[in-house]
DNA sequence: CTTAGCACTCTTTTGGGTGGAGTGCTAACA
DNA sequence: TGTTAGCACTCCACCCAAAAGAGTGCTAAG
């Protein structure tokens, strides 16, 4: 592949920058005048023709300006983009928005999503920590009705999961209390992902010591855990921000998009894709997502963590044309801040 | 006020019916031909002119057909509408959709919202039971970190509320366990709305008997309760269904609407309005809502209950032009079915 | 009281025609 | 050899006038 000259890159950057700002195809004149390249429109035209041939730009029709292709945007993001770092004032504003929400993790994540959406004027998303990645802090069994046990799981990060189990036998509350006390001791500070394995192991190892009581306690835990393992939740805020983008002025396009949002599992899958990169901001552009409903949008995401444990992913969803130079720093900063807030002092 | 003759009513009904179906202004010819009135278009025109004068119909412009006004719709709803009762098959379908979801109340309500949205092809809404209307089944205090207590409240209907309290003193878990055991006994089967009063009362009455321990237990309960009292949640599903209505083809209108949806508190207030009617389907049409963002939409709602206790409201939100004759029975049936499901046998 | 007929009104659609933006190419220039 | 000015050409967006269509109100006759 042929290298791009400095000038080629400058022109590409100018086209992308202008296009991101205006949403309109960019002409040679505009670039020559507005972006301090000391060459004439005619020269720019030549360069642009080259860039088009290489697949970085495209023309909606003859005699229109150029628009960056996905390949062009990718190149821009990978090598050209100049981040506009956040002002101290902006950092302070974000910090302020978090203030007082540190207690309730659910609320915390929801606020995060709102912050992302309002600061980036797009939709903000935050994926709840998967149970596998969290650590268990507490478990509680409550008898709801005969044969129904509500199990409440609280992870270290403070998230509450609950589900109702139907049990063959009717277990009285005071016995359930014993179970939970036992399990709480047993599981202290063990990664939830290991819980099942660990339980089975213990059962094997000290089988004789377990009376039917404790076996059952572990059985219930296992089942409750299973029920919650797959639950994954998502906060999406600021969907209406998307309506402000001229690319979604078309109702039909919008319908498809919002439809994709309604079935959150798709977005979750998309975010899952980015969970693998253990850190840093990641961008998925249009068709890179491989989900046909989301081909017109792009995702800027970053994982957040608690100490060393990856908890989940947060990010911004918007049209492919977005102000990356600003949004990337915002996502990065927010992810860092959230991680920091979750990194509270360990309990004594 | 002048009475409407039989023929006037028949014409009004025809106009409403046709308008609801097509969304277009209805002409005299259409009515004369399609709705079995044995009079000519000219006669219909005379009747329509009368109805217009009385404020039941209006013309978007001269030489267009007629459209029902809100007053016209109201009259239609109050006296003319003929319900299309649900087929057995449809009932079965709804019942089927509920199957297996009876355990988890949260999931149950979400499914309800989905059912409403997909059966009516509009947005379905379900308002969570307010804590005041529920009854407490269980309370649990868990020490999250030093000075932080997570309180979990479970209502009789199986809903879980939780919140984190910051407490001045650090209370060890085993003491918290005592508190919850105590409070659970104390509050058994008392309406939550009375809890605060009852607690204060008990404190006064038997003041000497309470050592500092129990006083504190009650203090914590009171505060936790307070924190959850105002929380009210809402499920809205099928918002994209609204996009299918031609009345929302205009992006600007849509923006306003979805914006209103994003701030759920407005919808909650709207639903609250209908909570007062203790039973039966209620309809709020356009401007009747007094919320200016929602003037273009209308709400068909019905409360649902558990035994004698009003729990919340469910319903369908859509444009003023909706197929009431079908949606009303669906809402009614669903509310009944949900109530029935919640009406599970009391625990022993 | 009902109906047929007709003129009238208002909207929606259609189809040029025009102006503007931007290109590609060519030829001249450094 | 790379850069620039000039120019013809293309295509879209917009405007406006004309035509089509839908439905009315009014009048006069049944």
CATH number at residue A27: 1.10.10.10
What are the helix (H) ranges across A162-301? 173-187, 192-205, 212-229, 239-243, 251-262, 264-275
pLDDT tens-place string over residues B34-47: 887 888 889 999 99
Residues B236, B331 within the same domain: yes
Query: Given an 8 Å threshold on Cβ–Cβ distance, is B138 in contact with A142?
Result: yes
Residues B287, B200 within the same domain: no
The per-residue pLDDT for A63 is: 85
B202 or A36, which is more confident = A36
Query: Given an 8 Å threshold on Cβ–Cβ distance, is B160 in contact with A150?
Result: yes
The per-residue pLDDT for B278 is: 66
Query: Given an 8 Å threshold on Cβ–Cβ distance, is A158 in contact with B144?
Result: yes
Q: Give the closest of B164, B243, B255 to A104, CB-based.
A: B164
- What 8-state DSSP symbol labels residue B294? G
Given the structure tokens 């797959």, which residue do they identify? A230
The per-residue pLDDT for A327 is: 97
CA atoms in the 13 A half-sphere facing the CB of B328: 15
Confidence of residue B207 (pLDDT cuts 50, 70, 90): low
The per-residue pLDDT for A348 is: 36
A196, A229, A262 — which closes off a domain?
A: A229
Confidence of residue B347 (pLDDT cuts 50, 70, 90): very low
Confidence of residue A347 (pLDDT cuts 50, 70, 90): very low
Tokens of residue B200, six digits: 């204060």
Q: B321: closest CA among B287, B289, B285?
A: B285
Query: Given an 8 Å threshold on Cβ–Cβ distance, is A144 in contact with B259?
Result: no
What is the distance between the alpha carbons of residues A261 and A265, in angstroms, rounded to a whole number? 9
How distant, in Å, are the alpha carbons of A57, A66, A73, B115 from that of A62? 13, 10, 21, 50
Residues B122, B241 within the same domain: yes
Residues B177, B271 within the same domain: no
Interchain contact A154–B (C-beta under 8 A):
yes
Question: Residues A54-68: what's their mean pLDDT?
Answer: 91
Residues B242, B310 within the same domain: yes
The per-residue pLDDT for B85 is: 92
Residue A347 forms part of a structural domain = no
How many CB contacts within 8 angstroms connect chain A with chain B? 94
Residues B257, B126 within the same domain: yes
Confidence of residue B210 (pLDDT cuts 50, 70, 90): low
A208, A229, A250 — which closes off a domain?
A: A229
The per-residue pLDDT for A196 is: 66
Tell me if A32 sits within 8 A of A40, measured CB to CB: yes
Residues A335, A219 within the same domain: no
Q: A119: closest CA among A341, A322, A339?
A: A322
Per the structure, the complete domain to which residue A18 belongs is given by 6-80
Residue A160 forms part of a structural domain = yes
Cβ-Cβ contacts under 8 Å, B238 against chain A = 262
Degrees (nearest 5) of the Cα angle B315, B321, B326?
Answer: 55
Tokens of residue A126, six digits: 């935050």
Residues B151, B121 within the same domain: no
| Percent of chain A at pLDDT exceeding 70 | 88
Residue A1 forms part of a structural domain = no
The per-residue pLDDT for B154 is: 86
Residue A28 forms part of a structural domain = yes
Quick check: A302 CB within 7 A of strand C?
Answer: no
pLDDT tens-place string over residues A130-160: 766 556 788 889 888 888 888 998 887 788 8
Q: Give the closest of B240, B248, B259 to A259, CB-based.
A: B240
Query: Given an 8 Å threshold on Cβ–Cβ distance, is A258 in contact with B251?
Result: no
Q: How many other CB atoms are there within 10 angstroms of residue B36's CB atom?
A: 9
What is the distance between the alpha carbons of residues B216 and B222, in angstroms, rounded to a whole number? 10
For the cut 70, the answer to whether the pLDDT of residue B322 exceeds it is yes
Query: Given an 8 Å threshold on Cβ–Cβ distance, is A239 in contact with B249?
Result: no
Quick check: B39 CB within 7 A of strand C?
Answer: yes
How distant is C1' of C1 from CA of B12, in Å? 20
Residue B347 forms part of a structural domain = no
What is the DSSP track for A83-100?
--PPPHHHHHHHHHHHTT
Question: Can you list the positions of beta strands (E) in chain A?
Answer: 57-58, 67-68, 123-127, 136-145, 148-155, 160-166, 234-237, 282-284, 297-306, 309-319
Average pLDDT of chain A is 84
How distant is C1' of D23 from CA of A231, in Å? 58
| Percent of chain A at pLDDT exceeding 90 | 39
* Bridge partners, B166 (sequence order): B148
Residues B110, B72 within the same domain: no
Residue A202 forms part of a structural domain = yes
Question: Residues B132-152: what's their mean pLDDT?
Answer: 81
User: Per the structure, how many domains does chain A have?
Assistant: 3
Confidence of residue A329 (pLDDT cuts 50, 70, 90): very high
The per-residue pLDDT for B20 is: 95
B19, B53, B80 — which closes off a domain?
A: B80
CATH of the domain at B259: 3.30.450.40
How far is the alpha carbon of B89 from chain A, nearest alpha carbon, in Å?
27
pLDDT tens-place string over residues B63-73: 888 999 999 99
Question: Residues A277-287: what's their mean pLDDT?
Answer: 84
Residues B32, B74 within the same domain: yes
Degrees (nearest 5) of the Cα angle B298, B300, B301?
Answer: 135
Question: Can you list the positions of beta strands (E) in B194-346?
Answer: 234-237, 282-284, 297-306, 309-319
Question: Residues B278-302: what's their mean pLDDT?
Answer: 86
Residue B63 forms part of a structural domain = yes
Residues A76, A98 within the same domain: no
How far is the alpha carbon of A212 from chain B, nearest alpha carbon, in Å?
24
Q: Which residues contact B59 (CB under 8 A, 6 or more apart)?
A: B25, B52, B65, B66, B67
Residues 65-94 of A with CB under 7 A from strand C: 65-66
How distant, in Å, are the alpha carbons of A11, A38, A73, A160 from that of A19? 12, 20, 11, 44
A333 or B188, which is more confident = A333
Query: Best of A117, A162, A176 to disrupt the B interface by mutation (most B CBs within 10 Å)?
Result: A162
Q: A19: closest CA among A53, A56, A54?
A: A56
Tell me if A257 sits within 8 A of A248, measured CB to CB: yes
**Residue A295: helix, strand or coil by DSSP?**
coil
Q: Is A190 exposed, middle or buried (0-12, 13-18, 19+ CB in 10 A)?
A: middle
Q: A167: closest CA among A229, A114, A221?
A: A221
The per-residue pLDDT for A194 is: 65
How distant is C1' of C17 from CA of A249, in Å? 29
Tokens of residue A269, six digits: 């899958």
Residues A193, A324 within the same domain: no
Find the distance separating the first CA and the last CA of chain A, reported in whole Å. 59
What is the distance between the alpha carbons of residues B341 and B348, in angstroms, rounded to a whole number? 18
Tell me if A114 sits within 8 A of A238, measured CB to CB: yes
Question: Can you list the positions of beta strands (E) in B86-169?
Answer: 123-127, 136-145, 148-155, 160-166
Q: What is the dihedral of CA B110, B112, B118, B124, to 10 degrees?
A: -80
Quick check: A28 CB within 7 A of strand C?
Answer: yes
The per-residue pLDDT for A124 is: 96
Tell me if A118 sits within 8 A of A111, measured CB to CB: no
Residue A14 forms part of a structural domain = yes
CATH of the domain at A172: 3.30.390.60
The per-residue pLDDT for A153 is: 87
What is the distance between the alpha carbons of residues B74 and B55, in angstroms, rounded to a whole number? 11
For the cut 90, the answer to whether the pLDDT of residue A107 exceeds it is no
Question: Residues A240-260: what's their mean pLDDT?
Answer: 84
Interchain contact A107–B (C-beta under 8 A):
no
Q: A347: closest CA among B163, B176, B141, B170?
A: B170
B18 or B264, which is more confident = B18
Query: Given an 8 Å threshold on Cβ–Cβ distance, is B137 in contact with A154?
Result: no
């Amino acid at each position: 592949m042929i290298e791009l000259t400095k000038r080629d890159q400058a022109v590409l950057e100018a086209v992308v920058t202008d296009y991101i700002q205006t949403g309109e195809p960019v002409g040679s004149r505009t670039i020559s005048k507005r972006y301090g390249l000391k060459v004439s429109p005619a020269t720019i035209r030549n360069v642009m023709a080259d860039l088009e041939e290489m697949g970085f730009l495209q023309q909606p029709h003859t005699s229109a300006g150029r628009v960056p292709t996905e390949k062009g945007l990718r190149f821009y993001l990978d090598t050209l983009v100049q981040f506009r770092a956040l002002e101290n004032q902006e950092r302070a504003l974000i910090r302020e928005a978090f203030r007082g929400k540190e207690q309730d993790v659910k609320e915390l994540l929801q606020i995060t999503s709102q912050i992302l959406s309002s600061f980036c004027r797009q939709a903000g998303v935050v994926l709840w920590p998967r149970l596998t990645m969290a650590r268990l802090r507490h478990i509680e069994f409550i008898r709801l009705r005969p044969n129904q046990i509500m199990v409440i799981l609280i992870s270290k990060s403070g998230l509450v999961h609950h589900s109702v189990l139907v049990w063959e036998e009717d277990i009285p509350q005071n016995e359930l209390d014993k179970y939970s006390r036992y399990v709480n001791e047993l599981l202290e500070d063990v990664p939830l992902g290991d819980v099942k394995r660990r339980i089975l192991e213990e059962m094997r190892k000290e089988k004789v010591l377990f009376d039917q009581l404790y076996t059952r306690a572990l059985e219930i835990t296992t089942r409750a855990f299973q029920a919650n393992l797959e639950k994954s939740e998502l906060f999406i805020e600021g969907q209406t921000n998307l309506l402000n983008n001229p690319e979604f002025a078309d109702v039909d396009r919008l319908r498809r998009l919002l439809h994709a949002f309604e079935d959150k599992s798709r977005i979750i899958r998309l975010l899952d894709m980015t969970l693998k990169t253990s850190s840093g901001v990641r961008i998925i552009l249009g068709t890179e997502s491989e989900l046909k409903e989301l081909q017109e949008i792009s995702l800027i995401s970053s994982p957040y963590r608690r100490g060393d444990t990856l908890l989940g992913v947060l990010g911004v969803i918007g049209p492919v044309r977005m102000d990356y130079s600003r949004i990337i720093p915002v996502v990065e900063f927010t992810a860092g801040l959230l991680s920091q807030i979750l990194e509270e002092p360990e309990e004594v």
